[in-house]
Amino acid sequence: MFDVLIAGAGPAGAVAATLLARQGARVLVLDRARFPRDKLCGDTLNPGALAVLARLGLHAAAAEGLRLDGMIVTGPGGVRVIGRYNIASGRALTRRTLDAALVSAAVEAGARVEEGVLVLGAVSDTSASLPSIAGLVIKGQDGRPLRIAAPIVIAADGRYSRVARSLGLSRAARRPRRWAIGAYFQDVAGMTSFGEMHVRPGHYIGVAPLPGGITNACVVTPCPSRRSMTDLLQAAFRSDAQLGDRFAAARAVGEPICLGPLAVDCDVAGMPGLLLAGDAGGFVDPMTGDGLRFALRGGELAALEALRALEQGAADAHLRLLAARRRAFAHKWRFNRSLRTMVAFPGAVRAAGYGAIAAPALLERIIRYAGDLHAA
């Protein structure tokens, strides 16, 4: 018998498992992937995310990353602002490396991690006066559904969480709807110790340096083209006035990946017996590069409420978690949604560009806030 079942071994699930196991809870983590595995992401940890890892004693997970000293933001009309973190730094490393390190930390803490297991949904307990969750349903080795019981379940299985969606707790955002198309490249010219965000009318491009001379480059657009993803990426980079020369000799490493629609809305943090963590609890377009801080801190908050529920009962743990998530993230959620809305309107992007030219110090402050220096 396990105390806590966790669906998903990404950053949120792995952090929750580590913290719970350290306190003696019997934890089983289930993930359909086998680690290390590749995942499309911006591949950057901002200073706030690094601060969470350090506080939890998990800083070694980012040890192989490149140092990031800030962000470069460009816009229409030649806008270019360099925002330095100054008092802290970020790290850039692939999710393949980061996630595998966090899973290893969970196992070392005493959690049991089962890879290659597909979670189909939750086990509902209808015997109580209020519906509650009492475990998970997985696809067994013989292909048949298999139930695993536990008093507390944490769904950390991503923005299209099978658990949350099967219960009607999350849904794709109606607007804006965007897709991310990304790949790794070699021989991108002009890379520095800064991450980059290139905001254009109708889309934006994220670029990040990675160990080994590799560059992560991703286009986020509301209209995925019918052309091949490779052609779309090449057209976006090479037709861009500020990126064309830098990508002229670049070579893709592996196949590009398309992900979307990106944004997921979720108004709750679970239900009796179930807690949501990471992207399963809602996902905002990753414009500011702070998605990993949300995941890491969200996993921590879910673990704290799960421990409390094991001691005092799980009936209202999801309500306490919702309040904790709002205290931790509400201001940044509003900030991200405002940026996400602005990019959807070309006129707003151009106006912001003019504002950056007139008052670059303001954009520098925004970059530092986006980097979660307040949390670091």
Q: What is the pLDDT of residue 344?
A: 65
Q: What is the pLDDT of residue 260?
A: 83
Write the DSSP string, 47-67.
HHHHHHHHHTT-GGGGTTSEE
Residues of the chain with pLDDT under 70: 128, 224-227, 285-289, 340, 343-346, 348-349, 352-354, 356, 375-376
Q: Where are the alpha helices (DSSP H) in 239-287?
A: none
What CATH number matches the domain at 4-39+95-172+264-338, 3.30.9.10, 3.40.50.20, 3.50.50.60, 3.40.50.1370?
Answer: 3.50.50.60
- Is 3.30.9.30 the CATH classification of the domain at 44-93+178-260+345-376? yes
Alpha carbon distance, N-terminus to C-terminus of the chain: 38
Q: How far apart are CA 17 and CA 317, in angstroms?
A: 17
Is pTM beyond 0.85? Reply is: yes
Complete edge-to-edge strand list for the sheet that includes strand 132-139: 119-125, 132-139, 145-149
The structure tokens listed for 236 are: 């976006």
| pLDDT given at position 113 | 98
**Model pLDDT, residue 373:** 74
Strands 264-266 and 179-186: unpaired
- State the angle between helix axes of 291-312 and 317-343 in degrees (0 to 180), rounded to the nearest 10: 170
CA distances for 350 relative to 21, 241, 317, 363, angstroms: 50, 15, 45, 14
pLDDT, mean over the chain: 90
pLDDT digits (tens, 9 = 90+) for 72-126: 988 887 888 888 888 889 999 999 999 999 999 999 999 999 999 999 999 998 7
Per-residue pLDDT, 310: 96
pLDDT at 35: 96
pLDDT at 346: 66
The CA distances from residue 4 to 65, 149, 167, 168, 304, in Å, are 31, 9, 19, 22, 12
Question: Is 62 exposed, middle or buried (CB count within 10 Å of its CB: 0-12, 13-18, 19+)?
Answer: buried
Q: Where are the domains of the chain?
A: 4-39+95-172+264-338, 44-93+178-260+345-376
Shortest CA distance to 122 belongs to which of 176, 182, 68, 165? 165
